[in-house]
């Protein structure tokens, strides 16, 4: 994919994405912040020689190479700008299916704490921000990233009492 001076090469065989500039750079962040005009994006399949060249770049410039998961994580956080998708029901309880590999992902402030809550003590997006005493935008950014990676499970909202205590019906 080519968009002005941004080049992204996807290698589905190796499960890697090469981007110039790096996904950790300020220029890549700016790229994610602006709306794209699809007519200006150039997409092309690579021939065997171009694939060899792309893989050589991945080896020589590992700082510009990321896994699919890390790339999607970063792009989803940057493009969301701390906002939630329009279809998000903030009353639903959120949990994550498994622990994300945070060592290889772009860091969100408080990511480990947010992951721990969603993994062990699920709650609504607003509740998690309140429990951790952190800005909602951090929780929203984390949510966007795990949502795009299909790591989210939504649960039916419970009353506050049910949230903290298991309530059993009398027989």
Long-range contact list for 1-5, CB < 8 A, 24+ apart? 1/41, 1/42, 1/43, 2/41, 2/42, 2/43, 3/31, 3/36, 3/40, 3/41, 3/42, 4/40
**Helix (H), strand (E) counts: the chain:** 7, 6
Contact 13, 60 (CB under 8 A): no
Position 48 scores a pLDDT of 87
**Residue 171 pLDDT class (50, 70, 90 cuts):** very low
The pLDDT tens digits for 85-117 are 888 988 899 999 988 887 766 677 898 999 999
The pLDDT tens digits for 140-164 are 989 998 998 899 988 765 555 455 5
Q: What tokens appear for 38 in the block? A: 């699809």
């Amino acid at each position: 994919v080519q968009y002005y001076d941004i080049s992204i090469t996807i290698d589905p065989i190796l499960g890697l994405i090469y981007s110039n500039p790096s996904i950790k750079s300020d220029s890549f962040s700016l790229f994610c912040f602006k709306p794209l005009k699809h007519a200006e994006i150039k997409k092309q399949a690579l021939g065997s020689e171009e694939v060899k060249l792309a893989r050589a770049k991945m080896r020589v410039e590992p700082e510009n190479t990321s896994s699919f998961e890390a790339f999607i994580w970063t792009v989803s956080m940057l493009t969301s700008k701390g906002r939630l998708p329009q279809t998000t029901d903030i009353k639903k309880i959120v949990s994550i299916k498994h622990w994300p590999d945070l060592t290889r992902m772009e860091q969100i402030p408080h990511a480990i704490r947010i992951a721990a809550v969603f993994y062990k003590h699920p709650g609504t997006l607003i509740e998690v921000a309140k429990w951790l005493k952190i800005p909602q935008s951090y929780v929203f950014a984390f949510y966007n990233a795990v949502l795009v990676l299909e790591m989210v499970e939504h649960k039916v909202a419970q009353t506050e009492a049910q949230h903290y205590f298991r309530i059993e019906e009398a027989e």
